[in-house]
Amino acid sequence: MKDDVWLDQPLTDAEIELLDDFLISGAVHDDSMDVSMMDGFITAVASGPNMLMPSAMLPWIWDAEHGKNAPRFASTSEARRITGLILRHWNDVNDSLNQTPDAYEPLLPEREVEGNTLSIIDEWCEGYCKGIEIDREAWDPLIASHPEWFTVIMLYGTPDGWAELERQRYSLEQHQAFALSLADSVSHIHQYWVGQRRQQIARGEMPGVIAASQSRRREPKIGRNDPCPCGSGRKYKRCHGSGAVMDDFRSGFPPDPVEPDTGGPPFVLSSLSQRVARDGTAVEIEIYENGEGGWLLEIVDEFGNSTVWDKSFPTDHAALAEALKTIDTEGIAAVMGSAPASATKH
């Protein structure tokens, strides 16, 4: 019996808080995502035109600007716990979009404003836009043909949108209406790409895989560890940077310095990582170093579902052998997750 686990349990509120605390801590780069931005990013790449492997996703969560500054984990156990929480959320978003898209809800923090509860959507939208940005050429035709699906996302997630928000000064009621529209936009976008993927599968093709790349922010941004410009004396990430509705301080400050990677498991991807097909179905075998000389094994199916082995392997060759053995002895279905409700195999 293989020693793996399906990471299919939604995060609890306590786990979301634990993950958010880590992502805005000093253990990660100033440009790391918080959980809401991460949720938007995962939602985009999980439902987009091409696949992003989880091991290629993590660097963008740690460093949304450059995708290369790794966290400084206190231990390997902390690294496994934090990455495990992220992978569980990845699978939860995938499952929600594929199985119950009408019930999907973005992960949005809330705050009290003038006696009303208001959803904070700028970080989520910025994360979704990052998911688009790393595969922009593939997204452009849909954005051009259905701009209405992206109006709110671009309004709150791009520098041009932030400038428009400052000009328009929308009411709190309009802002909340924008927040409520996000789930519907996500559903439309996801269903479109599901249709495209279904056609690919019918032709016996796998969706494309997003190549690792780097991007540069087009506008300067306040560092999360910088003092908040409001004068409160607190760090920006603990004040207005925690999700302001109308962030008036997004421009006019110098870019954050790019800090070198100073620690933490690097999650180096093995050259043995590969795509494997059996019986007309293909999966991606991902093997990456755990930072202590061992190798971690993960298999991702064509719908983005992830199977991760609990144990580490002494070599990447041993990890590959275990993956192939599992596929050949138990069948490729043993490492397949849930397909979209509307998708069929041919």
Whether the per-residue pLDDT at 232 is higher than 60: the answer is: no
What is the pLDDT averaged over residues 54-65?
86
Q: What is the CATH number of the domain that holds 190?
A: 1.20.120.740
> What are 213's two structure tokens?
């790349």
Domain match, 180 and 56 both: yes
Whether the per-residue pLDDT at 7 is higher than 60: the answer is: no
Domain match, 33 and 172 both: yes
Is 321 a member of any domain? Answer: yes
Question: What is the structure's pLDDT at 1?
Answer: 33
Domain match, 280 and 186 both: no
> What are 35's two structure tokens?
């959980």
Is 62 a member of any domain? Answer: yes
- Judged by DSSP in three states, 113 sits in strand
Residue with tokens 């999650």: 267
Question: What is the structure's pLDDT at 218?
Answer: 35
Of the listed ranges 120-129, 157-166, 308-317, 324-333, the least confidently predicted one is: 308-317
Task: Select the more confidently predicted residue: 271 or 160.
Answer: 160
Of the listed ranges 62-66, 103-107, 206-210, the least confidently predicted one is: 206-210
Written as one letter, the residue type at 166 is E
Backbone φ and ψ for 259, nearest 5 degrees, come out as -90, 145
Q: Which of 253, 235, 232, 142 is nearest to 195 (CA)?
A: 142
Domain match, 167 and 286 both: no
Question: What is the structure's pLDDT at 15?
Answer: 93
Domain match, 185 and 279 both: no
> Nearest 5 degrees, angle CA 255-CA 262-CA 293?
140
Is 34 a member of any domain? Answer: yes
Q: Which helix (H) or strand (E) holds 306?
A: strand 306-309
Domain match, 283 and 149 both: no
Q: What DSSP character marks residue 237?
A: G
Domain match, 278 and 204 both: no
List, for residues 98-157, the tens digit of each pLDDT value.
888 888 999 999 888 778 888 999 999 999 999 999 889 999 999 999 999 999 999 999
Question: What is the structure's pLDDT at 42?
Answer: 95
- Judged by DSSP in three states, 270 sits in coil
Contact of 283 with 338, CB cutoff 8 Å: no
> What are 219's two structure tokens?
């506008």
Question: What is the structure's pLDDT at 177?
Answer: 93
Domain match, 164 and 27 both: yes
Domain match, 176 and 300 both: no
pLDDT band at 238 (very low <50, low <70, confident <90, very high): very low
Question: What is the structure's pLDDT at 16?
Answer: 93
Task: Select the more confidently predicted residue: 43 or 118.
Answer: 43
List, for residues 156-189, the tens digit of each pLDDT value.
999 999 889 888 888 888 999 999 999 999 999 9
Is 266 a member of any domain? Answer: no
Whether the per-residue pLDDT at 20 is higher than 90: the answer is: yes
Domain match, 194 and 45 both: yes
Q: How far from 313 is each of 106, 282, 306, 323, CA to CA, in Å?
A: 36, 23, 18, 11
Domain match, 25 and 155 both: yes
Contact of 274 with 285, CB cutoff 8 Å: yes
Per-residue burial over 134-145, b = 16 or more CB atoms within 10 Å of its CB, e = otherwise: bbeebbeebeee
Whether the per-residue pLDDT at 211 is higher than 80: the answer is: no
| Residue 24 Cα to chain centre, angstroms | 16
pLDDT band at 339 (very low <50, low <70, confident <90, very high): low
What is the pLDDT averaged over residues 216-236?
46
pLDDT band at 288 (very low <50, low <70, confident <90, very high): confident
**How many CB atoms within 10 Å of residue 18?**
16
Of the three residues 192, 222, 238, the one that is the final residue of a domain is 238
Q: What percent of the chain has pLDDT over 70?
A: 75
> What are 18's two structure tokens?
């634990």
Is 165 a member of any domain? Answer: yes
Task: Select the more confidently predicted residue: 216 or 222.
Answer: 222
Contact of 219 with 188, CB cutoff 8 Å: no
Is 86 a member of any domain? Answer: yes
pTM: 0.68
Return the top range by mean pLDDT from 107-116, 141-150, 266-275, 306-315. 141-150
Task: Select the more confidently predicted residue: 224 or 269.
Answer: 269
Is 313 a member of any domain? Answer: yes
For the chain, the average pLDDT equals 77
Give the span between the Cα atoms of 32 and 87, in whole angstroms.
16
Contact of 153 with 128, CB cutoff 8 Å: yes
Total domains in the chain come to 2
pLDDT band at 214 (very low <50, low <70, confident <90, very high): very low
Of the three residues 220, 238, 256, the one that is the final residue of a domain is 238
Give the span between the Cα atoms of 262 and 264, in whole angstroms.
7
Question: What is the structure's pLDDT at 267?
Answer: 55
Full residue range of the structural domain in which residue 78 is found: 13-212+234-238
Is 220 a member of any domain? Answer: no
Question: What is the structure's pLDDT at 220?
Answer: 40
Of the listed ranges 18-22, 142-146, 208-212, 313-317, the least confidently predicted one is: 208-212
Of the listed ranges 1-10, 155-164, 277-286, the least confidently predicted one is: 1-10
Domain match, 201 and 297 both: no
